[in-house]
Structure 1
Amino acid sequence: MNPTFNGNFRDDAGAAGVQDASVALLEGVRGELASLRLGLELPGTADARRTAGSAVGQLDDYILPRYRSLDAPLLAVVGGSTGAGKSTLVNALAGHPVTRAGAIRPTTRQPILLHHPQDAPWFASPRVLPTLSRVRGELAGAGTPATSAGAAPDPSAMQSLVLLADPAVPEGVALLDAPDVDSISDDNRALASQLLAAADLWLFVTTANRYADAVPWKLLVDAASRDILVAVVLDRVPAGAAEEVSADLRSMLAREGLAGAELFVVAETALDPLGMLPPAATAPIRDWLQGIAADAAGRSGIARRTLNGTVRALSGKVAGLAEAVKDQDDAGRQLAGDVTASFADAAGRISQATSDGSLLRGEVLARWQDFVGTGDFFRALESGIGRVRDRIGAFFKGQPPPAVKVEAAIETGLQAVIVDQASRAAEDADQRWRSDPAGRALLGTDDLSGTTAEFPADVAAEIRAWQGDVLAMIRTEGAAKRSQARWVSFGVNGMGVVLMIFVFSLTGGLTGAEIGIAGGTAVVGQKLLEAVFGEDAVRRLANQARHSLDQRCEGLLDGQRQRFLERLGTQQDGTPQADRLRELAVELAKLGEGA
């Protein structure tokens, strides 16, 4: 990051290349953080979202603009607690009134940026603090500022920055009067934090009776983590208390890593009719700022120091966000696993019910018996199963009843099984999620414990489509058989029904009296098919039909499962974003060290 040298001459091309690479890295970090989606409500998630948002804001407001314009003037933000005297200090440093100071709080409603006229181009553009629209201000009379129409403020932003060119401000350092860090207005507090995060150096104003307040110290600790140059102004110090109070404040600064901070003490002093402090009261602060402005190399060092410190602090934030993303991924996988397990169990139960003979009962069995023949046929078959080929031959010569009623019974029975199991899976998944805070937050007030209203109709349509698949298999297989006249006389639908019945009894599972009825049914179906197509072909056709049915059932269940998984968004994908963030954190740490 530092300029490189070739002999006694700087390698400008090399330095520019390093700077371009740094900007590219930072832009990559910004893109990664902007795309961060922490959708699960886990412990610490709210803080992680705020961290990611503030990091993106700081990249836009300060880090990227500073890397792109290393020679831009320094931005010194004057911040502090309510009533600390920030505006009064800014007026004193300018030597005339430029900001409003008073007892009504919050006083600073619109931040004013004071800059030397020669530095105007640096701040008129959205180079720094791009989300704040610009309003051009003008000095009127004895220094009273009067804003005039400049660039129209963005109505959606609701925030603007008043730019005030003032020759009293030293060239190379701009002063920005920020809102109170502990303002009663949420918007003002947020704006104060944004402005302080965009500063090259801080002028932090506190008072003799407020310097130990918690809110300012939280910001000062953040400044220490960024290694930003801080000057603390201890304002309104009563006579005789300066030594004691300043010693205590220095001790506190040292404990928080700010031992090198400049400390200026402003004694409690009466203001003149214009609300101005005597020039001597703030002369040391003014001299300090002018000294910085006059030293170009010193300004560059301050900018580099703050920039590097901010990038190192960003590295820590990105590393913390990587862990937050990992926690999200782990929790998302757990929730997705719960849903997947519920519906996988349902798929298993459907597969079992459609292959163990469970469907060969009730209406399906009755319609099948009507289709094949009477109960006497099955009793005769049971008494002489060895004569099945003769029975089959006789069967083909007859005219079997239509297969439509068997198909309808299969559709009704199979639909009932699939709908029931899908409903049980949805209920189980809903219960699992409601037992987990993150899952409960994803569900909210929605009830996903049942199937969708259109699911039964979708199931019926898929079953009819599967029956069509089976008929197509029969038609294709039969076209190549020399016994075509035999199966054609029986009918494509008839043979299709026989294959469906056989598929439903592939693994047995029948007990008691059912063996004599449904079991005999399965044997008849198998023998009929083998007589026409052959044993190997029947096995292949049954496996194809079973696979087609399983695929369609899986698709139906997947539609119901997706209602849950869609709420997880990308969490279920197991994306390596946590790994990318860890790698970026390492690169940022190197960049912050000047490596």
Structure 2
Amino acid sequence: MSADRDVEALVSAVEALRAEVDRAVLPLDVPGRAEAVAARRGLLDQLDDYVLPRLRSIEAPLLAVVGGSTGAGKSTLVNSVVGEAVSRPGVLRPTTTSPVLVHHPDDARWFADDRILPGLARVTGRDTGEDQPGTVRLAASSALPAGLALLDAPDIDSVVSANRELATQLLAAADLWVFVTTAARYADAVPWDLLRTAADRGTAVAIVLDRVPPEAVDEIRPHLAQMLRDQRLPTAPIFSVPEVALEDGRLPAWTFGRLRDWLQALAGDARARDIVVSQTLRGAVDSLSGRVGTLVTASRAQRDGEESLRASAVEAYELAQKHVADGMTDGTLLRGEVLARWQEFVGTGEFFRQVESTVARWRDRITAAIKGTPAPVDTLGEALHTGVAALVLDGLESAGSETVRSWRRLPGGPAVLAADPTLGATPLEAGAQVERLVRAWQGEVFDLVRTEGQGRRTNARVAAYGVNAIGLFLMLVAFAQTGGLIGAEVGIAGGTAVLAQRVLEAIFGDQAVRDMAAKARERLLVLTEELYARDRARYDTALSALVSPEDQARRLEAAAARLTQVAR
């Protein structure tokens, strides 16, 4: 493969990686998200500001970014090298959000468009003293040789966070860091954090040790050189600038002569310039896969967070479903109002004491009692309806409340709840939905009675009691467990269950009654489960709007692996 084709393949792989990084989203506030968001932003900035522009224009001038701490003398140094005031110096610079890029007039075409730093608008002409955030001011100067540009960056330790972020972004866009520090501050932590980043990414670095007292040069310079070796920057050249009085706001030429000569030699030697560019570009490309690993880990953490939130909602609604199932078989539905309406249906409590122990006699007494007095079927049916509806609605409300409580405790949950405040309350239509569910279920129970009573003899027996009455008997039998009742309720409910079951067995047979009761319970549970699933979907929908794609981590890994393969 030719060199041109090698570069084309590398550009294609970097573009594919850039697309995946740009597509990656980290919406859930899970542990490590803030760091991953910053890493993603840093990756996009360096890809857009340096890696892709440099790969596409390998012959473009070398860009040296002059960076450092507040008051280190960056702007004074740039003005001195250029020989005119292109950048306003000062400890408190009102133009720190507007970096200055100085270039030879013949190189203007390389910087006038958005080939590099596409996020910054271009302004030209002399500095007017007005702050212009979001811009880079271009200054043409014949004092710089063609093939080299200097960019005066904001302070890396600025009190304004936007300035610090811009300084970091500009340094990541450089072929060469010209790092300015002072004799008093060369060991500060902030500069070394950035220099370690340069070492990790293979960036070419030159150090300017500014404002050095003449008597301290022999002590400070060796110490700084040792620190550079310790931080894996052993080849970084050091240029000392003595502490002297400025002349017309600039350094005397003799104080920075070595730095100026080095820069001019670098610009004039195509091979030396290529070595610097290749070192930084290779280091930047090689660092991409590892830096993408941070996004891969964060993407998996997003999926884990999502799964935890979904699982907590599922658990809450499953518990609610179990609550309904238990309430159907523990006697809960045979309490209070249902017991009272049942007694009205068959007469007073004396009725139970008068019933004979044999099935035939019991059936005859029940038939006579029912035929002799019109049965208040509607009130018993409404009591059962109300009891079942209350049980189902209570489970629905409990599931929603428990889901909200658990999401408030889980990573990422509060943000999802904040994005959709309606999740914190039971929907207004829930009551009506439950009412429709119970009436639909009762209707299915009545249909089950009609279906089972298709035989002529059985049909006559059903007709003797009425389909609705037999359906209510079946509902009572379906709920006829007494584990949840106490005291006198047990005997009454037990009698209710036995009496209703004996009537049904006399009509349908004992096995048919067991099958019908099981079908009735199962159908109510199915309808309840469907209702709960629809309500739980509110949480799934809200969560789906704030989650990363399921295959995000895999796509990032694949793009990084392809880049690694091509870059070898």
Q: TM-score, with normalisation over the residues of structure 1?
A: 0.80
Counterpart of 1:258 in 2: which secondary structure? coil
Which residues in structure 2 correspond to 1:268-347 (within 5 Å)?
268-273=243-248, 275-327=249-301, 329-330=303-304, 333-334=307-308, 337-338=311-312, 340-347=314-321
Q: CA deviation at 1:477?
A: 5.8
- Tell me the amino acid that sits aligned with residue 252 of structure 2: P
The answer as to 2:139 corresponding to 1:161 is no
Q: What is residue 7 of structure 1 aligned with on the other side?
A: none
CA contact (8 A) 2:482 2:493 kept: no
Q: What is residue 31 of structure 1 aligned with on the other side?
A: 23
Q: CA deviation at 1:232?
A: 0.7
The answer as to 2:545 corresponding to 1:545 is no
Residues in 1 aligned to 2:181 and 2:281: alpha-carbon distance in whole angstroms? 25
The answer as to 2:426 corresponding to 1:467 is no
Residues in 2 aligned to 1:302 and 1:380: alpha-carbon distance in whole angstroms? 108
Residues in 2 aligned to 1:540 and 1:287: alpha-carbon distance in whole angstroms? 99
Instruction: Pick which of 83-92 and 21-30 moved more.
Output: 21-30
Q: CA deviation at 1:538?
A: 4.8
Q: CA deviation at 1:503?
A: 1.9
The answer as to 2:182 corresponding to 1:207 is yes
- Tell me the amino acid that sits aligned with residue 256 of structure 1: Q
Q: CA deviation at 1:30?
A: 3.1
Q: What is residue 141 of structure 1 aligned with on the other side?
A: none
Q: CA deviation at 1:349?
A: 2.7
Q: What is residue 84 of structure 2 aligned with on the other side?
A: 96
Which residues in structure 2 correspond to 1:472-491 (within 5 Å)?
472-474=447-449, 484=459, 487=462, 490-491=465-466
* Distance 1:404-1:189 versus aligned 2 partners, 3 A rule: same
CA contact (8 A) 2:103 2:141 kept: yes
Q: CA deviation at 1:180?
A: 0.9
Counterpart of 1:76 in 2: which secondary structure? strand
- Tell me the amino acid that sits aligned with residue 253 of structure 2: P
Note the aligned Cα RMSD (angstroms).
4.0
Structure 1, unaligned stretches of length 5 or more? Answer: 5-9, 139-143
- Tell me the amino acid that sits aligned with residue 78 of structure 2: V
**Aligned counterpart for 1:82 among listed residues 45, 48, 70:** 70
Which residues in structure 2 correspond to 1:176-575 (within 5 Å)?
176-273=151-248, 275-327=249-301, 329-330=303-304, 333-334=307-308, 337-338=311-312, 340-372=314-346, 375-381=349-355, 383-388=357-362, 390=364, 400-421=374-395, 456=431, 458-474=433-449, 484=459, 487=462, 490-505=465-480, 517-529=492-504, 538-555=513-530, 557=532, 575=550
Structure 2, unaligned stretches of length 5 or more? Answer: none
Residues in 2 aligned to 1:93 and 1:216: alpha-carbon distance in whole angstroms? 23
The answer as to 2:115 corresponding to 1:127 is yes
Residues in 2 aligned to 1:67 and 1:398: alpha-carbon distance in whole angstroms? 99
* Distance 1:499-1:89 versus aligned 2 partners, 3 A rule: same
Q: What is residue 108 of structure 1 aligned with on the other side?
A: 96
Q: What is residue 22 of structure 1 aligned with on the other side?
A: 14
What percent identity do the matched residue pairs reach?
A: 47
Q: CA deviation at 1:23?
A: 2.0
Residues in 2 aligned to 1:338 and 1:221: alpha-carbon distance in whole angstroms? 43
Residues in 1 aligned to 2:55 and 2:446: alpha-carbon distance in whole angstroms? 70
Once the two structures are superposed, what CA deviation does each residue of 1:258-308 show, in whole Å capped at 9, x if it has no partner? 1111211222333322x2223343333233233333344544443333233
Structure of greater relative contact order (alpha carbons < 8 Å, 6+ residues apart): 2
Q: TM-score, with normalisation over the residues of structure 2?
A: 0.84
* Distance 1:119-1:590 versus aligned 2 partners, 3 A rule: same
Residues in 2 aligned to 1:23 and 1:480: alpha-carbon distance in whole angstroms? 76
Once the two structures are superposed, what CA deviation does each residue of 1:117-172 show, in whole Å capped at 9, x if it has no partner? 3433332333322222222x13xxxxx55699xxxx8xxxx411112233333333
* Number of corresponding residues: 566
- Tell me the amino acid that sits aligned with residue 318 of structure 1: V
- Tell me the amino acid that sits aligned with residue 162 of structure 2: D
Instruction: Pick which of 349-358 and 101-110 moved more.
Output: 101-110
* Distance 1:28-1:440 versus aligned 2 partners, 3 A rule: closer
Q: CA deviation at 1:64?
A: 3.5
